[in-house]
Amino acid sequence: MISNDNKTEVFFVDKIVRGVCFMAILAMIAFGIKLMFYSTNEDGVFSENRQNTVRSGLRTSNNVEAVQAQSPIQKANVAFRQARKSKTRKDWEHCVKLYTELYESNASNGLFAFRKAFSLHACKRIDEAIEAHRVAAAFPRYKVLATYNLACAYALKKEKSQCLKTLKEAVDAGFKRRQGLLRDDTDFAFVKDDPEFKRLEKLSTPKKPKNLNRQFDFWVGSWDVFNKSGTKVGHNTISKSQNGFLLTEHWKSARGYTGTSINFVDPKDKKWKQVWIDQGGNITRYSGQFSKGSMRLSGSTHQSRGQTNLERVSFTLLPDGRVRQFAERSLDNGTTWKIYFEGFYKKDSTAKK
């Protein structure tokens, strides 16, 4: 039992305790907020640079180097990039040391094996590099490039037969010139005039498009586009790249509306694909083929606001050299179709040849 006097005393004590607890909670909250603007490195050291980092979304290069240096893998990666930039033997020797240590600690990592071999090669330690390239080539992911590098090493040793034999293995495994400029590689100076080297160089060059990839060539060029009444409605430029496997469209209407598409043959189903995106973020994906004298594509548009429409379009080369583009759209899942564009392309006489 507690008297009234005791109740008063307890009341004030309780009030004091509550106040102390409240202040403690505020202090903890303030400390937590402060932590949001601090970071810790792997050693648990706080860094006040965190606040600026969060705001800018960027770290300074010095901070990146400092963080990366904490990890043996990141330290090796930094050294590798530096060596590729400086091309000095000292830097490459440093890479050899780092990647040798990494590979010895994890012999199942193909990247460590590949970069160790690459670094030895860059140091001109060719005998060691040959053995290291062989090890790296045992990893499926690095087989093609490691075998190619092994051929380079044999070339530097002036072992012609072994060089050409190994280079053939690289080409048979899938090496293509897009992965390295075969003729311009100075390692092959010793054999570049050999007939077998020239044959392998030809084999390693990606084949030019077959007839299927040339079906849309009539659309390539710089064009003024007109409607049926002869009013200019825009300008379109279609260019070829990637050894002719890719057509890229850049459209600009008379009112300033713009859009871009990429066009290519999908090797999986042998059909033409077009992916179009406009300045509003609306995307149309088409698929089709050349049929009855026209490139005929169909697909759907996914608008940025969520609506989806069905689309179909055809491109036809006319006898007078113009190209007719005829496009329709369905808003009811294909039940009815409405023409939304019909344009006639005429070569832009002012375009550079």
Which letter does DSSP use for residue 304 in this model? T
Q: Count other C-beta atoms under 10 Å from residue 199's C-beta.
A: 13
In eight-state DSSP terms, residue 340 is E
For the chain, the structural domain boundaries read 61-203, 211-347
Q: Given a cut of 50, is residue 232 above it in pLDDT?
A: yes
* Residues across the chain: 353
Kindly state the percentage of the chain with pLDDT values over 90: 60
Residue 201 pLDDT level (bands cut at 50, 70, 90): confident
Please, what CATH class does the domain formed by 61-203 belong to?
mainly alpha
pTM above 0.85, yes or no: no
What is the maximal distance between C-alpha atoms in the chain? 113
SS3 of residue 80 by DSSP: helix
Confidence of residue 181 (pLDDT cuts 50, 70, 90): low
Asked if residue 65 has pLDDT above 90, the reply is: no
* pLDDT per position as a tens digit, 244-290: 999 999 999 999 999 999 999 999 999 999 999 999 999 999 999 99
Written as one letter, the residue type at 288 is: G
Q: What would the mean pLDDT of 327-353 be, rounded to a whole number?
A: 88
| DSSP string across 5-33 | HHHHHHHHHHHHHHHHHHHHHHHHHHHHH
pLDDT category at 292 given cuts 50, 70, 90 is confident
On the CB side of 58, how many CA atoms lie within 13 Å of its CA? 4
Q: CA neighbours within 13 Å on the CB side: how many for 158?
A: 0
Q: Residue 204 in 3-state DSSP? A: coil
- List alpha helices for the chain, DSSP H: 4-36, 50-56, 61-68, 72-86, 89-105, 110-122, 126-137, 143-156, 160-173, 195-203
DSSP reduced 3-state for 117: helix
Helices (H), 123-213: 126-137, 143-156, 160-173, 195-203
Give the bridge partners for 289, in sequence order. Answer: 296
- How do the residues of the chain divide into helix, strand and coil, expressed in percent and rounded to 5? 45, 25, 30
Q: Could you tell me which CATH number the domain at 211-347 has?
A: 2.40.128.20
DSSP reduced 3-state for 298: strand
Q: Select from 328, 326, 215 the least CA-distant residue to 264.
A: 215
Distance CA(235)–CA(189), nearest Å, equals 48
The Cα angle at residue 77 between residues 75 and 82, in degrees rounded to 5: 95
- Between the two ends of the chain, the Cα-to-Cα distance in Å is 106
How much is the pLDDT for 18?
53
Among 135-144, 204-213, 219-228, 272-281, where is mean pLDDT lowest? Answer: 204-213
d(CA 134, CA 117): 9
pLDDT digits (tens, 9 = 90+) for 92-117: 999 999 999 999 999 999 999 999 99
Element (H, E) at 222: strand 221-226
